[in-house]
Structure 1
Amino acid sequence: MTTGAEISPKPTLRVADAPPSNWVDRWAPASWQPYLRLGRLDRPIGTWLLLFPCWWAQTLAQVNSGDHLPNIGYLVLFAIGALAMRACGCAYNDWVDRDIDGRVERTVNRPLPSGQVSPEAALGFVVATALIGLVVLLNFNSFTIWLAIASLFIVAAYPFAKRFTSYPQLVLGLAFNWGALVGWAAIKGSIGLPALALYAGCVFWTVGYDTIYAHQDKEDDALLGLGSTALHFGEDTVSFVGAMYGLAGILWLVAGALAGAHLVYFLAVVLVFLQMSWQVATLDIHNSSNCLWRFKSNRDVGLAVFVGLVADMALSWFAGLG
């Protein structure tokens, strides 16, 4: 907890929620480390959570098209794009929040408030990573390119949302899961109802897991006059997150039904719903470590749904051979 005044960076430059043994701190050259931290390469969970909606939508579209193998080239392109755009978005967010971060215990050691990276250098990093994302994007059809570019308006607005609303997690969800539309469009060249259902489910998913994450900062946010669903729902967070996860699971099932997915996909969604139920049942909003662990476990949710979709394609192929 803070008093809202500036906090002096701690002697260690590692940020609070980075794994103690992350590769940036252990292996990266010292001159690179501030920029790698700025792009959150020491904390890959955000990249995974940005990537999975892209992969889900791509593979769901391929299930709908009757394909038997995922397009590996597109999977790689989405992986590179997610890595670059997550780094870009985080650096932009930190640039906007550079004064706020210096007054929050968890973020005081970030590269900008700690003085490791200048605001000008951070903006240069934003431009460089955005250009990498653009190079990746140019490998897709024109509809997909313009659809992806349209997301930049929401991305640009997100860092300001907590200054004006108690629901910045909703704005994050709208921005962070745009890949659920882009992945489908990359295969189909348009947006279909399955993609819209998948996207809506992913938005609810993000609102849920980011509410859990926001409980780490609720005391600082309250002192600084910032909004979050963690503060808004307080002791009712467990019920709220449960509702968000429930809506996410239902919409993912609807997306699969609309796309013509098979039993293995629906089983995967049921399994991830059980995992999300575990998050809710064991959540302790007064324990930061508990919140961070449950937030990070959403990588398993993403992986399980993706594996279910790939298995759907593979089993359809085997069934066709029979």
Structure 2
Amino acid sequence: MTAPTPGSVADATPRNWVDERAPAAWRPYLRLARADRPVGSWLLFWPCAWSVALAAVAGGFAPNLWHIALFAVGAVAMRGAGCTYNDLVDRDIDAQVARTRSRPLPSGQVTARAAAVFLAAQILIGLAVLLALPPFAILVGACSVLPVALYPFMKRITWWPQAMLGVCFGWGALMGWAAAFGRLDAAPLALHAAAFVWIIGYDTIYAHQDKEDDALVGVGSTALLFGARTRPIVATLYAAAALLIGVAILLAGGGWLSYAGLAGFAAHCAWQIARLDISNPALCLTLFKSNREAGALLFAGLALDAITRL
């Protein structure tokens, strides 16, 4: 059996590229940005990509590849910045939780000062991406700063930190439309609402990995709040997400390919619910990660719908 790489994080993907191929001096910072666990960047990116594709469906043009590229870079940079900021705020709590005490800050791989400098560098990259967008999209993006700043503190004051994550990670559902049309309409608002409830659902599954430690430390989560009712509640959240995506497609004038993408998304969510076992942390992590594929299915349907209309 291969020994773990020194400094590796407990819940990182085994034999990931950061632990095996990144320069040793970079590894603590890449771990801080969760580059060893890229699924979070995908989950931040998909609502942005959905919005770009939905705007293309509504406008009768091809999905804007420049906007997609910008949102891809922005998702990686801002997810890394968000994780770095979250770890700075939570470093004392993380030191008390089995899954997180091996992270760079609580394990001493990175100092708080160095993490703050790294955070500033990632924010500058995100700012450069934002400033490359049209003016109205810049304004919409700037409005996300407050919920992002508040997110790490929510677990201390509410059982619903996943709801604030839904606001933050779902913000991209507004951005693609704003960049394409210079305004917001009912369709992207419905898409944002869909992303919001989808994110609460999948992050509740994720939070079941930490529920015992969270209870001991005294922080809140929907995993603790829902408890044994998690399966029906997450099923309801996923069903609401599918319904709201359907509303967004209808408002945008989408065709059968968009609805086919929605059907794939809904089927994937149903598969997650069928497999869910909240007493199995490894399975919870697997199901959480699989939402990358759920997001891809919806994007594929929307993008193909836009392209075939040209």
| TM-score range normalised by the length of the shorter chain | over 0.9
- Distance in 1, matches of 2:266 and 2:125, equals 35
Structure 1 ranges of 4+ moved more than 3 A: none
2:13 corresponds, among 11, 19, 32, to 19
- The residue type equivalent to 1:298 in the other structure is N
2:50 corresponds, among 26, 45, 56, to 56
Q: What are the within-5 Å matches in structure 2 for residues 136-175 of structure 1?
A: 136-175=129-168
- Distance in 1, matches of 2:63 and 2:169, equals 23
Q: What are the within-5 Å matches in structure 2 for residues 220-299 of structure 1?
A: 220-299=213-292
What SS is found at the alignment partner of 1:92? helix
* Distance 1:66-1:227 versus aligned 2 partners, 3 A rule: same
2:56 maps to 1:66: no
- Distance in 2, matches of 1:52 and 1:158, equals 20
> Displacement of 1:11 after TM fit?
8.4
| 1:98-123 residue CA offsets vs partner (Å, 9 max, x unmatched) | 00000000001100000011011111
- Is the contact made by 2:63 and 2:307 (CA closer than 8 Å) also made in structure 1? no
> Displacement of 1:314 after TM fit?
2.0
> Displacement of 1:128 after TM fit?
0.6
- Distance in 2, matches of 1:298 and 1:132, equals 26
- Distance in 1, matches of 2:66 and 2:158, equals 40
- The residue type equivalent to 2:205 in the other structure is I
User: Residue 132 of structure 1 corresponds to which residue in structure 2?
Assistant: 125
Q: What are the within-5 Å matches in structure 2 for residues 295-306 of structure 1?
A: 295-306=288-299
> Displacement of 1:239 after TM fit?
0.7
What SS is found at the alignment partner of 2:156? coil
Q: Which runs of 5+ in 2 are unaligned?
A: none
1:206 corresponds, among 196, 199, 207, to 199
Q: What are the within-5 Å matches in structure 2 for residues 71-86 of structure 1?
A: 71-86=64-79
- Is the contact made by 2:206 and 2:284 (CA closer than 8 Å) also made in structure 1? yes
What SS is found at the alignment partner of 2:231? helix
- The residue type equivalent to 1:218 in the other structure is K
| 1:261-280 residue CA offsets vs partner (Å, 9 max, x unmatched) | 11011011112111101101
- The residue type equivalent to 1:28 in the other structure is A
User: Residue 41 of structure 2 corresponds to which residue in structure 1?
Assistant: 47
User: Residue 179 of structure 2 corresponds to which residue in structure 1?
Assistant: 186
What SS is found at the alignment partner of 1:238? helix
- Distance in 2, matches of 1:47 and 1:252, equals 21
> Displacement of 1:150 after TM fit?
1.0
Q: Normalising by structure 1, what TM-score? A: 0.94
What SS is found at the alignment partner of 1:163? helix
Q: What are the within-5 Å matches in structure 2 for residues 20-39 of structure 1?
A: 20-39=14-33
- Distance in 2, matches of 1:80 and 1:124, equals 19
Identity percentage over the alignment?
52
Superposed CA RMSD in Å reads 1.0
- Distance in 1, matches of 2:67 and 2:135, equals 15
- Distance in 2, matches of 1:128 and 1:256, equals 37
- The residue type equivalent to 2:157 in the other structure is F
2:93 corresponds, among 81, 93, 100, to 100
- The residue type equivalent to 2:180 in the other structure is I
What SS is found at the alignment partner of 2:129? helix
- Is the contact made by 2:44 and 2:172 (CA closer than 8 Å) also made in structure 1? yes
User: Residue 313 of structure 1 corresponds to which residue in structure 2?
Assistant: 306
- The residue type equivalent to 2:99 in the other structure is R
| 1:156-213 residue CA offsets vs partner (Å, 9 max, x unmatched) | 0000000000011001101111111111101011111000000000000000000000
- The residue type equivalent to 1:78 in the other structure is F
* Distance 1:91-1:264 versus aligned 2 partners, 3 A rule: same
> Displacement of 1:12 after TM fit?
4.0
- Distance in 2, matches of 1:184 and 1:22, equals 35
User: Residue 4 of structure 1 corresponds to which residue in structure 2?
Assistant: none
1:113 corresponds, among 106, 118, 135, to 106
- The residue type equivalent to 2:183 in the other structure is S
- The residue type equivalent to 2:20 in the other structure is R
- Is the contact made by 2:5 and 2:19 (CA closer than 8 Å) also made in structure 1? no
What SS is found at the alignment partner of 2:139? helix
Q: Normalising by structure 2, what TM-score? A: 0.97
- Distance in 2, matches of 1:256 and 1:66, equals 13
